[in-house]
Amino acid sequence: MAGLVTGDSMPVAVLGGGETNPDVSLLYDINGIAKDAPHWTDRAVEFIGEYGIVLGLAVLMLCAWWSVRKSKDAPAGVAALLWSPLAAGIALLINMPIRGFVRRPRPFLDHQGLEVLVKGKTDFSFVSDHATLTMALGVGLFVANRKYGLIGIGLALLEGFCRVYMGVHYPTDVVGGLALGTAVTLLLAPPAMMLLTPLTGWLAGTRCGWLVRAGGSAVDTVDTAVVPAATAEAVSGAAGRGHEVRAQDRDLAA
């Protein structure tokens, strides 16, 4: 059994044997920042933690897509970017039975004195969906492009901090989500890339090839190379036939 010992400023979680619970203690430490922060700071963290980081990762993926299209191995890079949201979706699906099995209540239901920035959270707490989603996207970005991937992983870590700051998750909920997103993305990446890379390679050879490789599709490149050559051959043939006609005219005149 765990209880709360109220000190001069912040409640401290104490286990049955008299030991402090580091998970709950860290929850109070991080969430306590929200109590002392200005109102606009809490509102900003609320938006960032709920929507902002996910939107930021979407923009980051667009930037990474624009960049990998210019690389030598563009089909593989685009395939990795396609795998990133797919991995996030699979990780969220895996998390559903985990949450139903663990059935951990939200921290504000079991602990008093928390500053809860988002109301109406009635589902279970472990594992954090937001942490799972953002880390899966971040690691997927890292597979495609190291620079953008490091930024994405940094955003995922910030997402985890925001969830605890907002009072809606324990720190271990966040750690579990980060681990789940990472594991699903990396463990399933080899078979996913085996399936997606041929698909993007085929797409690069169609008229939609600009989605995979910068500078147009392979079809467009072939067309622009063949048409001038065919035109030059036709002009050369026409000139030759004209020369033969003029020679025949001279023979008839003679």
Tens digit of each residue's pLDDT (9 = 90 or more) over 67-86: 999 888 899 999 999 999 99
Identify the pLDDT of residue 209. Answer: 86
Q: Is 175 helix (H, G, I), strand (E, B) or coil?
A: helix
Q: What percent of the chain has pLDDT over 90?
A: 57
Per the model's pLDDT, the better-predicted residue between 18 and 43 turns out to be 43
Instruction: For residue range 86-126, list pLDDT tens digits in order.
Output: 999 999 999 999 999 999 999 988 888 888 888 878 889 99
Bridge partners of residue 14, in order along the sequence:
3, 20
Across 12-21, 166-175, 212-221, which has the greatest mean pLDDT? Answer: 166-175
The structure tokens listed for 136 are 């899966």
Q: Is 99 left (phi over 0), alpha (psi -120 to 50) or beta?
A: alpha
**Residue 11 confidence (pLDDT):** 52
Q: Is the pLDDT score of 219 beyond 70?
A: no
Q: Are 181 and 88 in contact (CB under 8 A)?
A: yes
Q: Which residues of 12-22 are buried (b: 16+ CB within 10 A; e: fewer)?
A: bbbeeeeeebe
pTM score, whole prediction: 0.77
Q: Assess whether pLDDT exceeds 50 at residue 183.
A: yes
pLDDT bin (cut points 50, 70, 90) of residue 220 is: very low
pLDDT surpasses 50 at 204: yes
* Helices 129-144 & 146-165 angle (0-180, nearest 10): 170
**Which stretch of 18-22, 132-136, 191-195 has the lowest confidence by average pLDDT?**
18-22
When mean pLDDT is compared across 36-45, 52-61, 237-246, the lowest value belongs to 237-246
* Mean pLDDT in residue range 193-211: 90
Cα–Cα distances (Å) from 175 to 57, 160, 162, 181, in that order, read 19, 8, 13, 10
Among residues 46, 57, 52, 47, the alpha carbon closest in space to that of 134 is found at: 57
114 phi and psi angles, rounded to 5 deg: -85, 145
Contact 212, 75 (CB under 8 A): yes
Q: How far are the Cα atoms of 15, 103, 185, 214, 252 from residue 179, in angstroms, in the given order?
A: 26, 18, 10, 35, 92
Q: What are phi and psi of 20, to 5 degrees?
A: -75, 145
Amino acid identity of 5?
V
- Span 174-182, average pLDDT: 96
Structure letter (DSSP) for residue 112: S
The pLDDT, as a whole number, for residue 216 is 55
Please determine, for residue 10, whether its predicted confidence score (pLDDT) is greater than 60.
Answer: no
Is pLDDT at 1 greater than 70 in this prediction?
no
Q: Is the peptide bond before 127 cis (omega within 30 degrees of 0)?
A: yes
Residue ranges of alpha helices (H) inside 37-188 are 39-47, 53-68, 74-102, 107-110, 129-144, 146-165, 171-187
Residue 253 banded pLDDT, cuts 50, 70, 90:
very low
Query: Quick one: pLDDT at residue 116?
Result: 87
**Predicted confidence band at 19 (pLDDT cuts at 50, 70, 90)?**
low
Q: What is the mean pLDDT of the chain?
A: 81
